[in-house]
Chains A and B, each alone.
Chain A
């Protein structure tokens, strides 16, 4: 109610000043403590924005409410923020942290809306934050969040096109998504960011075709348009056999090609091509007109000609829709009907014009009717056209007359009838009708002038009553051109013109001069004086065109000594036979554009129009679209399934194991929450690869696997293996001394693997053993020959399953967390860190930042009395190791602490070994699962290398000797020193000089040290 009162105030322009003072009120309201007042203020502000009024100065007051608990208030603040952030970039940054927090919210819709707003704020400075947020959201478990990520891709691209490469990576990932929710949005992003990267589509082509029916309608339109383009590059033309029906200019091209190919082999449609046509067909029944149009254009551009007819009915149905829909559909039908009359001929009556139609609809219908005209239906069409001539809409009547002219030239049987009809129209009282008739008759007469001298005479008689300049000019031209057919009338008309010359329009004057010249040449006796008179009038005309023309004509026709050779040819120049004009459709050349596009509607290329390529002469490799058939990760038939040779199989097996592991050791795990989180990360990653349904929740998956395990029960031997494996993996520490026995058993299993149908299960067990071996190896309990066997085993595995090394590694990593150490280690003492202390812990979780990374959890706390700002890891990493840094912590309040996670890629076993030694965290041995392939000899060798490699005496000397956790402390001291006295360190550790700020270098150095020291 207050709302409406407000709008009254706003709509009165004299109260503008009043509104300005109201701004202060609004600020007051926004700063009050009452939610309802704030909400009311925001509603008024949105009202202002809607009206296009400036609410710019309220920004600081509004942005404060961004973290409000009230959902409506929050949404309205978002509206405001998105509208004005671009203009108030600095202030807008204040809101960013709120969104960053919300991005981690457990509720998917809050995550999605945070990403939506964050990516809508067009502030270039937050591009890296957006990029990170998009990358994370793209792997979110919720398809809704992933959809939002797809939208955000386009926003980021328009904000900063330099991010293209990174965005393409995200698009590639999202294209693999199996959710119908995501498909449309990601294809939209694809079209906007990298429409030329057709190679990204190959693997997803069949999936997109199959999902299409279930995608939401707007996504369908985008996908269909994209697939149309794709198909034109990948399949050969299906139009060869019936190229005869192809009436356009391409005919010869296809014809010749078709014949050539036909001789060699008949055309067989690619099954993928057929798949697309088959799966889009039901969409012709969609209620969404854009979808129907999209499918129609797909069929038009891709289907064999004889299958085209199915789109006709649907297109005609769309004509029942709104005026604007009709307009677009009629345009497309007009283009189609030029090439293929047969498609729409049975529906001719649907194009009959109603008096209530808008003018542009009428004109289009007329165009189509004219296109459809042939010998059989011309009488019906002409009868219909007659009624249109009398329309109240004069522009339409004129268009009808032109249409009649076109019918007359195209169908010779009716030329005479039409001409007679048009002559009768000359006596119409409406000037536009008469004028248009004259113009059309002129064109028609040009085709056969000799038979129609009586019509020309009739028009000469009408000349006095016609006032429309174009019509008068047309008659004059006819007189001049065919003056020999009307020898008596023409001079008379010229006489009349001489009288009225000065008051005529320019176009009429020009034609009068023409007529005079032509008569002078053919009948100079009668018209010589008249011509000279007119030429004299023209000489002094105001219009330079007419003066020029007069001068030219005079030189041409009146012989004198200066005129030279040209005047001898005057007759041949002026009276040359002229080709008859061809009356053709205005839609003739529209087919160069893809149907249904904006460019087609406007008949000119619009921004971002993507051209349809011609069919390739030879189809590109079809196999690119083949997706490896991946067995379901949770296939209930695992026990019976054939040995999986693919890497995925191996991967999913180990994943499954980890899954099961997680459930069994949950009680022992202190951080079960974070574990399950990363587990689900793994899940989503996995389900992208395998064909398991996205919507399956983690829980569901677990039950499925339990079920599967139960199914294995009947086979007692397998069950035994399995149980044993499980048992071993859980209690491996107690089995150290029994190791060799176990290993032998394991080897026997491997031997059996070759023959057993239960390979997958054994593999599972093997993996389990494998992980135990590794643990044992690094517990210094391992003898050399066993290690060799272990390596053999590893190689064997790699060969057997054709798995690349990272797969092995991932599987190992994934299978590991039988025991998660809870102890955390001090990285930086608060004293040395001048208040900042850091502790780190290995979470033993598969790293969410990358398969090859090790997860590290850092706890940073501030024990000083002032807030620390901008804590982050330096960009520069001298070791070349890939570290996934945590997001910079903007501010850490006194006595506060924050936990961040990061990932470190130890790349290579050697480097990881280094790391292990120098940090020498005893329980962390397991963290270094990756370097297993390293022998002890290597180990010491690297240790030796380290001395030579690292020239910083302070750090290095300490490293090999001291492996207690205290040494970490001492090292930290030295590192802290580095930060404090940068001048001495610069050469050695290449510490950037600018890092004088305490927090930055200390932290950076520490990490660097863990990597390389």
Chain B
């Protein structure tokens, strides 16, 4: 299956290699570099690259390319999913998955990779098991280790791997028993110029942080489970009970995990919390243009919109922007051609507005491209779909846990298509 793994940074430096079978020369990455060059943007690198003797399957995450070498037929998603799992494990262990952290913790990284794959086939990918095998670094522990020479490798061997519920380790003990659930919903939407919804749907996840002693058996039920159109669960969830009773019954892993993700289809009407009025135009002569963007609340269910950020991808000919914002700060990056307007909290009384002029490359023709406007926002204490957790029950243990549910709505891929100043009218 997975033969080797190479980690390559954005500058094209290969900074880590690991082989699970016989060693493959790093020159195999030349094919990757070739593709990388051709793609210009790192996002455009094809995930599967064919070379004369190998296949390279790569993912791009946190400015690092994880390039795996494959020799024989394998479901490509298998490899992709695994590589993402590796990246997530690094994130879990080191707080972030970056070149620096990987280089700083190269020994732990190596130990992890050794445990995660055997002969290219995944062995232990469950973070609970890995953490028992190899303890994540903490400042205190690395200090202690340096002084006493003790190790990061667990002395005890993981029991989880051998049990029927590999995601939970035995003998968990807490003084404060608590279970928190975050219902996070993201709105994916495409709006046209006038703000009419072209396409909108809601993607939700329930993140859990469960710190309960022993072997608790939890049941989570919703007020309105019918809303959920399509769901996927953590392996701990008993699918049969969901099928029959529409409740989520599970023995939770210890700590943070994603309990489920769900989808609320485009068929249901999706509330769009804000509107954006924009006018970007370029003059035929004088190599300049005008920009005017205003944002206001639409369907916020009485909650405040926070962390509002508007991003505009400008046409290539735009050199600079001279704007003024009534609220928040703006920044135009002439290299990436991205205008970023960080508004912050949306005040319904005083609507924020960004106005000013754009200067273009002199002599360049008026741009024809269709820029787009991406919106990022956050609404606390609201699940925009209206999903509500009814209750959480615990069986199997005697103590009374502290329970909490939090709702957040965010903008996912929230995009407004801009001006039609050069639209071709094809009268369809």
Contacts and interface: CB of A to CB of B under 8 A. Distances in A.
Contacts of A325: 77, 80-81, 84
B155 A71 contact: yes
A52 B235 contact: no
A155 B119 contact: yes
Contacts of A414: 428
B22 A86 contact: yes
Interface in A962-1006: none
A1011 interface: no
Interface in B7-26: 14-19, 21-23, 26
Contacts of B372: 354-356
A158 B22 CA distance: 10
A383 B428 contact: yes
Given A50-B109, A392-B369, A429-B368, A188 B426 contact: no
B269 interface: no
B48 A320 contact: no
Interface string A276-295: 00000010011111101110
Which of B75, B154, B231, B371 counts the most A-chain CB atoms under 10 A from its CB?
Answer: B75
B261 A287 contact: yes
Interface in B175-230: 188, 190, 198-199, 201, 203, 229-230
Contacts of B258: 287
B114 to A, nearest CB: 6
A607 B72 contact: yes
B140 interface: no
Given A50-B106, A79-B114, A324-B59, A424 B426 contact: yes
A144 B161 contact: yes
Interface string B148-187: 0101111101100110101000000000000000000000
Contact of B162 (A143, A213, A287): A143
B275 interface: no
Contacts of B232: 285-287, 292, 314, 317
Nearest to B414: A354
A279 B48 CA distance: 31
Contacts of B55: 598, 602, 606
B75 A294 contact: yes
Contact of A221 (B23, B78, B106): B78
B92 interface: no
A599 interface: yes
B71 interface: yes
A359 B16 CA distance: 28
A391 interface: yes
Contacts of A354: 190, 372, 413, 415
Given A50-B106, A75-B111, A286 B118 contact: no
B74 interface: yes
Interface stretch (A1-9, A334-342, A853-861): A1-9
A324 B22 contact: no
B426 A386 contact: yes
A581 interface: no
A314 B230 contact: yes
Interface in A159-202: 180-181, 185, 188
B103 interface: yes
B30 interface: no
Interface string B61-80: 10000000011111111101
A158 B427 contact: no
B401 to A, nearest CB: 24
Interface stretch (B39-47, B347-355, B387-395): B39-47
Contacts of B1: 188
B43 A323 contact: yes
A390 B233 contact: no
Contact of B149 (A36, A221, A289): A36
A328 B427 contact: no
A74 to B, nearest CB: 9
Interface string A572-614: 0000000000000000000000001111011010111110000
B418 to A, nearest CB: 9
Which of A144, A287, A425 counts the most B-chain CB atoms under 10 A from its CB?
Answer: A287
Interface in B214-267: 229-235, 239-240, 243, 258, 261, 263, 266
Nearest to B261: A287
Nearest to B85: A288
B77 A218 contact: no
B315 interface: yes
Interface string A414-444: 1001101100110011100000000000000
A79 to B, nearest CB: 6
Interface of B: 1, 14-19, 21-23, 26, 39, 41, 43-44, 46-48, 50, 55, 57-61, 70-78, 80-82, 84, 103-104, 106-107, 109-111, 114, 118-119, 121-123, 125, 142, 146, 149, 151-155, 157-158, 161-162, 164, 166, 188, 190, 198-199, 201, 203, 229-235, 239-240, 243, 258, 261, 263, 266, 313, 315-316, 365, 368-372, 374, 413, 415, 417, 422-428
Given A122-B22, A290-B75, A390-B370, 15 more contacts: A72-B153, A75-B114, A76-B107, A78-B114, A86-B23, A109-B158, A217-B125, A290-B80, A354-B413, A386-B426, A392-B316, A421-B424, A421-B426, A597-B75, A599-B73
